[in-house]
Amino acid sequence: MSELTRIPAPDGVAAAAAQYSHVVLGTGRFVAIAGQLALDERGRPVGEGDPEAQARQVFENLRRCLAAAGATFDDVVKLTYFVTDMAHMPAVRAARAEHIPDDRLPAASAVQVAALVRPECLIEVEAFAVVAP
């Protein structure tokens, strides 16, 4: 695990309402995880129409991808959430909370999109991590 520094709100920047850190920095090996959808190991959709089930599957896929790179959620410095409806964000936050404690929140962005590459998917999340060399 790398040593990361989280800055929730730099001077002159409004606090993030405990949803993310504005700045996360560290040294080590950079890991980029492609956007993960709610697909099982065979590429079949999980939880069609159910944002909670989809968010859980997305974070499980992220966990598996991080592990493949020798990383964990503790190493994540940035998450980007793509949702087809901002109403899905509470489900995303709940799934994130199962993997990342509030005192280790990464930087984050949330974007509402018209559609994802798989029309049955509601949520996609990409991650960037820094792992100790």
Average pLDDT over residues 1-5: 75
Separation between Cα atoms, residue 117 and residue 100, nearest integer Å:
26
pLDDT on residue 35: 97
For the chain, percent of residues with pLDDT exceeding 70: 96
- The string of pLDDT tens digits covering residues 39-64 is 999 999 999 999 999 999 999 999 99
Q: Which pLDDT value is given to residue 16?
A: 64
Q: How far apart are CA 112 and CA 5, in angstroms?
A: 28
Q: Letter for the amino acid at 106?
A: P
Contact criterion met (CB below 8 Å) for 95 and 65: no
pTM for the predicted model, two decimal places: 0.91
